[in-house]
Amino acid sequence: MLFNTLDYAWFFALAFVGSWSLALFTRFANRPAPAESAAGAAGRASAAAATPRGGFLGLLGSSWPRIVFLLALSYAFYSFWNWKYLPLIFGSSTVDFLLARAIDREAQPRRRKALLFVTVVLNLGFLGFFKYWNFAVENVQTVRGLLAGAPVSAIDTLKVTLPPVGISFFTFESMSYVIDVYRREMPAHRSYLRYLLFVAFFPHLVAGPIVRPRDLLPQFERAPSLTRDEAGEGMFLVAVGLLKKVVLSDQLAVNLVDRVFERPENYSALEVLAGVYGYAAQIYCDFSGYTDIAIGSALLLGVRFPKNFDAPYQATDLADFWRRWHISLSTWLRDYLYIPLGGNRVSEWHTYRNLMITMVLGGLWHGASWTFVFWGFLHGLGLGVTRAFQRSRAQKGKAKVASQSFPARATMVLLTFHYVCFAWIFFRAPSFKQATLVLKQLGTLTTFHPNLPPILVGLLVVALGCCYVPQRVYLWLRHGFSALPAPLQGTLLFLVAVVLHEAASAVAVPFVYFQF
């Protein structure tokens, strides 16, 4: 079920009405009786405090009807993709919940490490089998062919036709919970149902953001609330996200990017460059648009997700870019891969090694293809060069970019953007051959552009311009919308719906990150 469809609108309407109805009903049911004496109320409170909370089923607690309702809806949401994979997400969540409880109870370090090893192997095993098995089989076949000196017939073995949608996201979320418990950064959660909901909560289930357990689980413990400002913010985020996706990303994809990357030899260098710029705008508008809808949907249900994008194309270097792009993934890789490898607490050589390993594995996380691995390599290389450059400047006592003049900062932003665009070529191209064709066509320096009509150029300019809107302008628009009277908010949302209807293609275009 795609966020940019009417099916999701009806589904979310059911989730909104149902969850808040249950929340209000629970609050009303737990209200003290008017005739109850103070002593009686104190005794009831004392008895409630003495009752053990949590338990395996997690049904003890006043908010469990809402939790059960949202969990059932989340599993229903996932079943729209492929109901056959429901046992996978349910089973992996259950195993991690039980292993975390066992790790939390265990005092001996060796046993705790053994239990952690089990959960890491299981999670990465699921991920590796469903997402990378075919990739491994194909590469084994290629190596066999090279060693034999002749083509080898296809390996007769199991083929995974379609990996479960969102497996990279919910695997990382569930695994991070067990690791946090192992590190004693949080206690094992006592509520089984709330933990299942943490993993399966539908706004972030299939494409993130990768929400940390310490951020989300406590929100399921307390009674939900929704202020007028939060409701306005949620509706604003959903509307902006849909505009980014349907009006900007989808139109660029259909009318420019897909055509250029499919047959780059048919276009001039200028048109191919527009296609590369178009993909940079497309993937940002697409993924940040999805994140806006996810955050807005969760907020309307009384749950707040962390920020996942912070104007990444305004970054002054590659390290700054990764502090702004897909923040939930970059911080996950930092905390659970880069730092455990030693981070920058080791020798300079080992720091560069850790950066490269982290980014190459981050590229492989995106997809089972050598082009994704090379994309990660390019970012690891860029981060290493950035670090070496910054260390050299620090040793010479030169000022940071943040304190330099506007022309210097603009130059750094421009250089960073173009390096990111260069890496995007390998991220988008289905093969190295196709990526090479794109680069070769750019090298022709031809400038004829019959495939760039003014309306398409204008759309590209608007999409790229959205990447450079100052944060204060965005916040001003968001707060302004939230402050409007409800009738005006409704009118603006209706106009957005009209624009979306006119701009939408005949078939809803899936979000880019759904493939990961």
Residue 334 to residue 355: CA distance in whole angstroms: 9
Select from 164, 182, 159 the least CA-distant residue to 90: 164
Q: Structure pTM?
A: 0.88
Exposed e or buried b for every residue in 465-479, given b needs 16+ CB within 10 A? ebbeeeeeeeeeebe
Mean pLDDT by 10 residues, the chain (516 residues): 85 94 80 55 43 42 82 93 87 93 93 93 88 80 72 55 79 92 93 94 88 92 89 94 92 93 94 96 94 95 94 95 94 93 88 95 90 96 92 69 73 96 95 95 93 94 92 91 89 88 71 67
For 124, 330, 333, 369, 429, the CA distances from 136, given in Å and listed in that order, are: 14, 25, 23, 10, 20
DSSP E strands in 433-488: the ranges are none
User: What pLDDT score was predicted for residue 494?
Assistant: 87
Say how many residues make up the chain: 516
What are residue 54's phi and psi, to 5 degrees? 90, -115
CB 222 within 8 A of CB 183: no
Exposed e or buried b for every residue in 272-282, given b needs 16+ CB within 10 A? bbbbbbbbbbb
Q: Residue 232: how many CB atoms within 10 A of its CB?
A: 20
Residue 208 to residue 211: CA distance in whole angstroms: 7
Q: Which two tokens stand for residue 471?
A: 């944060």
Task: Tell me the per-residue pLDDT of 205-228, one tens digit each, with 9 for 90 and over.
Answer: 888 799 999 999 999 988 888 999
Active-site residue set: 366
Residue with tokens 């290389």: 381
At residue 3, the 3 state secondary structure works out as: coil
The secondary structure of 98-163 as a DSSP string is HHHHHHHH---HHHHHHHHHHHHHHHHHHHIIIIIHHHHHHHHHHHHHHHHTS--PPP-S----SP
Percent of the chain at pLDDT > 90 equals: 62
User: What pLDDT score was predicted for residue 288?
Assistant: 93
CB 463 within 8 A of CB 281: yes
CB 200 within 8 A of CB 116: no
Task: Tell me the per-residue pLDDT of 299-355, one tens digit each, with 9 for 90 and over.
Answer: 999 999 999 999 999 999 999 999 999 999 999 999 999 999 998 888 888 999 999
Select from 178, 39, 14 the least CA-distant residue to 97: 178
Domain ranges of the chain: 18-23+52-221, 227-503+512-516
State the greatest distance between any 2 C-alpha atoms of the chain, in Å, as a whole number: 90
| DSSP tag of 346 | S
User: What pLDDT score was predicted for residue 46?
Assistant: 44
Rg (the chain; Cα; Å): 25
Select from 200, 468, 117 the least CA-distant residue to 313: 468
Helices (H) and strands (E) in the chain, counts: 22, 0
